[in-house]
Amino acid sequence: MSVFKFIALIGLCWSLSCSVFAAGVQVQLDRDTVQVGDDFTLTFSTDQPVTTNPDFTPLNKDFQVTGTSTSTNVQSINGQVSQQIGWIVTLFANRPGNLQIPSINFGNVSSDPLTIQVLDQTVADPTGAGQANADILVELTADPPKPYVQQQVIVTQRLLHVVPLLPTRASMSHPELEKGKGLIQQLGSTQSGVINRNGVRYNMIERRYAVFPQVSGELTIGRTVFQGALDDRRSRQLDPFGIGGKQVRRFSAPLVISVQAHPQVKSTWLPANSLTLNAHWEPVNKTLKAGEPVTLTVAIIADSLMAEQLPALDIKPPLGIKGYANQPEFRNDLGGSSVIGMREEKWVLMGTADGSYVLPEIKIDWWDLKTKKMQTARIEPTSLKVTGVGQVNANNDPTVTATSPTEPANTLLNPAEQAVPSSQPQTERKTISQQQWLFIAVGALGLALLAGLLFWLKQQRGKLQVSTAAPTSLNPLKTLQAACQGDDAHAAFQGLQAWIREDLKLTPATIASLRTQADLPLKQALDDLSTVLYASTAHVWEGDDLWKTVQDYQKTQTPANTELPKQQGLAELYPS
């Protein structure tokens, strides 16, 4: 039993020592009662060894720390040296009530919690009713107070004061969301002026913000905090640097906005004061030449919507015209009393078949905040003409033989007859013609025999090569497959030409020739490739669709599991 008593006694002593050790940090308040925004001071002190720096972050729940400092006091009495360390924290309360100052850790020691009474300031009332006049007011207002989801809300932040303030020491926080989801953008710059409130003439400083709530329900904007110093003439004379004056801090009331669910609409929900569509063609004559792209620029401009809220355009070119959209551009004008958002899309259009076409109308439905009903912005249908598809330049056709401009292109006489003078007797001309025909017949017979001999030798040589040598040329389909899988548009174009020339053996070996025989999916894939190659700006091209359509077309041209003949050759340098 004595052993157990000894162990219990040791545990009791250890617990008492820990209690004393834990209470080794004293904390003091300079005041027991303060107002919201008024500074007060906490002083922490201890003579215990402190292993780490204190952590004051628990104070941020209800307070804002404006400054900290430390002090060390060393004393020697009768040879006994003692040291006391102190921390002075300056802070103010964010809200009224009986607020608790939490325990602060100083390594192995900590302070005890305290309670301070915080009184509310006089809150600004925009109507001025039932309120005593104040020297400094901070207020937040919303217009409209009950918006729809994604509708622009203009939040106005004002500082009103009748007492002079030091401009070098005045600052006001920007609005921040405390509850709900939304986007805040400041509009324009800070404005100043004069306003009458409850019979008092105030100097006013005003800022405006556009707020876009994202979900229905309550959207709460926290208190605006103003911090400054009174412009006291006596303190200014004593302080030429302008850092004197009594420090003041004021708060607005939190702003609560009730967000409504938007009405049921069949299209994208776009609440705006106005919305327009604008189109620009380059060139302006709206005539498409085959192989030459034209650019259609369409801009959506909306008052009270961000550019990022505007939808993508649904442009559907007719069959015979291929369209490709560039990346859209977004611009927001925040310099006025409302957000002006603009989304700009550039479309590259290319004609693929001669004829007259109509580009369907382009339209966007939007909600008019002024009339409270749906409106439609539209661009009327546009007539287009495509020319130049399938035209062949005769001067570039190698099958056409150039003739001398002094000789007729078509003649009924052979060259020998044209060489005979017209004064020569008719019988002599006939004799010469018969001799020439005899010579030509003998020569033709010799050439036929020679050609037959060469053909027989070539067949015999070809049989030996097939039996003894493997083909050495690359398979154009494999080259095309590699280009498509690597999303390389230019390499795919060259691979297509090699496939057309060496495997399909089309004449002329051009993509245009393939397109005349291709099915609809392959035509579409070929048009996509051509649009990317001819577009004025670079685009990302994905070759999966082209490779799939080529495979499907290949199956209709050759028996299954039959490898196409392989021929050597260089891809053409220029696109057709």
The total number of residues written for the chain in this structure: 576
Residues 88 and 191 reside in one and the same domain: no
Nearest to 59, CA basis, from 85, 34, 41? 41
Together in a domain, 288 and 376: yes
Question: Which ranges constitute the DSSP H helices of 216-304?
Answer: 233-238
Same-domain pairing of 222 and 305: no
Shared domain check, 278 and 233? no
pLDDT at 529: 82
- Note if the bond before 283 is cis, omega within 30 degrees: yes
Encode pLDDT of 232-290 as tens digits: 766 555 555 555 677 888 889 999 999 999 999 888 999 999 999 999 998 887 888 87
Q: State whether 328 and 349 are in the same domain.
A: yes
**Residue 539: predicted pLDDT:** 64
Query: If you average pLDDT over residues 403-418, what whole number do you get?
Result: 35
Residue 436 lies in a domain: no
456 domain-assigned: no
Q: Are 260 and 146 in contact (CB under 8 A)?
A: yes
Q: Is residue 431 part of a domain?
A: no
CA 4 to the chain's CA centroid: 74
Output the pLDDT for position 434.
Answer: 55
Domain end among 237, 259, 281: 259
Residue 232 lies in a domain: yes
Virtual CA dihedral for 428, 430, 432, 433, nearest 10 degrees?
160
Residue 283: per-residue pLDDT: 82
Q: What is the mean pLDDT of the chain?
A: 77
298 and 246 in one domain? no
In a domain, 383, yes or no: yes
Are 238 and 147 contained in the same domain? yes
Using CA atoms, how far apart are residues 134 and 192, in angstroms rounded to an integer?
19
Could you tell me the two tokens for 28? 């003091």
pLDDT at 13 over 50: no
- Domains of the chain: total: 4
Shared domain check, 154 and 252: yes
Question: What average pLDDT does this structure show over 293-312?
Answer: 95
Alpha-carbon distance values, 25 to 85, 106, 107 (Å): 10, 8, 11
Q: Based on the domain organization, do 243 and 288 belong to the same domain? A: no
Residues 248 and 345 in one domain: no
pLDDT band (50, 70, 90) for residue 206: very high
Task: Retrieve residue 135's tokens.
Answer: 């020297």
Q: Quick one: pLDDT at residue 438?
A: 57
Residues 281, 255, single domain; the answer is no
**Any residues with CB less than 8 A from the CB of 423 and at least 6 apart, and which?**
none
Q: Is 286 within a domain?
A: yes
Per-residue pLDDT for 497 more than 60?
yes
Domain boundary among 387, 410, 426: 387
Are 251 and 275 contained in the same domain? no
- Which pTM value belongs to this model? 0.58
The parent domain of residue 233 ranges over: 136-259
Say if 563 falls within a structural domain: no
Task: Give yes or no for a cis peptide into 144 (omega within 30° of 0).
Answer: yes
Give pLDDT, residue 407: 37
Burial class (CB in 10 A: 0-12, 13-18, 19+), 91: buried
Per the CB < 8 A criterion, the answer to whether 103 and 23 are in contact is no
Q: Where is the domain boundary, 349, 366, 387? A: 387
* Residue 548 counted as domain residue: yes
- Arithmetic mean of pLDDT, 420-432: 41
CB 476 within 8 A of CB 491: no
Three-state DSSP state, 357: strand
Q: For the chain, what is the total number of helices (H) and then of strands (E)? A: 9, 30
Instruction: Give the CB-side neighbour count of residue 361, counting CA atoms within 13 A.
Output: 8
Residue 557 to residue 544: CA distance in whole angstroms: 20
Contact present, 192 and 170 (Cβ < 8 Å):
no
Asked if 109 and 46 touch (Cβ cutoff 8 Å), the reply is: yes
Give the C-alpha distances (Å, rounded to integers) separating 110 from 57, 174, 194: 14, 36, 51
- Tokens read off for 565: 């003949």
The rounded distance, in Å, linking the Cα atoms of 429 and 153 is: 105
- Mean pLDDT confidence for 121-136: 55
What 3-state class would DSSP assign to 546? helix
Q: What is the dihedral of CA 120, 123, 128, 129, to 10 degrees?
A: -40
Torsion of the alpha carbons at 134, 140, 142 and 148, rounded to the nearest 10: -140
Rounded Cα distance between 315 and 323, Å, is 8
Residue 361: per-residue pLDDT: 95
> DSSP code of 442?
H
pLDDT at residue 100 tops 80: yes
CATH of the domain at 322: 2.60.40
317 alpha carbon, distance to own chain's centre:
25
CA 82 to each of CA 69, 74, 99, 108, 348: distance values in angstroms, whole numbers, following the listed order: 21, 6, 35, 19, 84
